[in-house]
Amino acid sequence: MKREYLALAGVVAIFVAGGTALMQSGLLPEEHAQDFRSLESISLQSEIRVIQEPTKEDNTYIYAINDVAKQAWEIAAGDEGVKEILGSIKGTAVTIAAVQPTAFVSPDGKVTHSGQGQIIITANWQLVDGRRYSGASFSSLDGRAGESHQKIWSVIVDLDRQRVVSVMAEQERVMRETLATNIVYGGMNMYLPDVAEARQGSTVRWVNESSVQHNVVGTYTTASGETKLDSGFFKSEQSWSHTFDEEGVFDYHCTIHSEEGMKGRLVIRG
Ligand SMILES: [Cu+2]
């Protein structure tokens, strides 16, 4: 599961790298993501480096798309402004993705990259009836008020001068839905509820409530083995359903928004 997640995150990172120049246009990067498939034909060095896995005490996942991007993160990690941001989002699900610079491999095998690094820091947290939420059964969530919050910062690092040159905060995103049994809402870079329990034999439906497309890709782990599930992309107001016949865990993410921590977990109980 992890390996697949990372490989996909790499692809996402490449799209983000291509889309960065357009971020100034005022449109959200995810709305441009699909315009950059042409970059797949360029030979890019994108072996993901996992810097930190989330733990129970610290739900922070840190990765870099290559060694130079990892250096960019190391520079950012020492910056007082970045430390302040991380302090302010303690206790949320944090994803830190070092997505720039992209490293290009020329035909003679030489690796080149720009002198600018980019780190995307995302904090995700959810509320049910106004209280912090960290997982419950669908039956207990039915009819309750769900809220998913997301805050994103983009940190630009000058690799030559070894320092952070700008930190841009995006407006906090909030998705509100009345929760319903066996329904997961997909919004702007988040699933709501992101963690939930369903009964064995349940058909769970993911509904896209946003203007951009999303997918649900992951591994369903049961006593009889691992099954890869892939919804394919579904657009606004469309949905994808799957019936979970065995006890187990389905860990999933959206392949084009995983750098903002668009991931979820479904637990199937007997
Ligand atoms: Cu998505």
Q: What is the pLDDT of residues 104-126, one digit of tens each?
A: 877 777 888 889 999 999 999 99
Distance 89 CA to ligand 1 centre (A): 22
Tens digit of each residue's pLDDT (9 = 90 or more) over 121-155: 999 999 999 999 999 999 999 999 999 999 999 99
Averaged pLDDT score across all residues of the chain: 86
Separation CA 148–CA 67 (nearest Å): 33
> What DSSP string runs through 77-114?
HT-HHHHHHHHHTTTSEEEEEEEESPEEE-TTS-EE--
Give phi and psi for 173, each to the nearest 5.
-100, 140
pLDDT of residue 30: 53
Distance 255 CA to ligand 1 centre (A): 7
Distance 213 CA to ligand 1 centre (A): 6
Separation CA 26–CA 147 (nearest Å): 25
User: Residue 82 pLDDT more than 80?
Assistant: yes
Separation CA 23–CA 257 (nearest Å): 15
Separation CA 62–CA 104 (nearest Å): 22
Q: Is the dihedral of CA 36, 33, 153, 194 positive or negative?
A: negative
User: Residue 13 pLDDT more than 50?
Assistant: no
| CA 36 remoteness from chain centre | 18
- Mean of the pLDDT values across residues 34-62? 72
Distance 15 CA to ligand 1 centre (A): 13
- Mean of the pLDDT values across residues 217-235? 95
Can you list the alpha helix ranges (DSSP code H) found in the chain? 2-19, 29-32, 67-77, 80-88, 138-141
Please write down the long-range contacts of 133-136, taking CB distance under 8 Å and 24 or more positions apart: 133/193, 134/195, 135/193, 135/195, 135/196, 135/197, 135/265, 135/267, 136/193, 136/196, 136/197
Q: Could you tell me if 253 and 262 are in contact, meaning their C-beta atoms sit under 8 angstroms apart?
A: yes
User: Residue 203 pLDDT more than 80?
Assistant: yes
Distance 187 CA to ligand 1 centre (A): 8
Token duo for residue 60: 């922070």
Structural domains of the chain in order of their starting residue, each with its CATH number: 2-269 (2.60.40.420)
Distance 33 CA to ligand 1 centre (A): 10
pLDDT of residue 44: 61
Distance 159 CA to ligand 1 centre (A): 30
pLDDT of residue 104: 82
Distance 207 CA to ligand 1 centre (A): 12
Token duo for residue 92: 């949320």
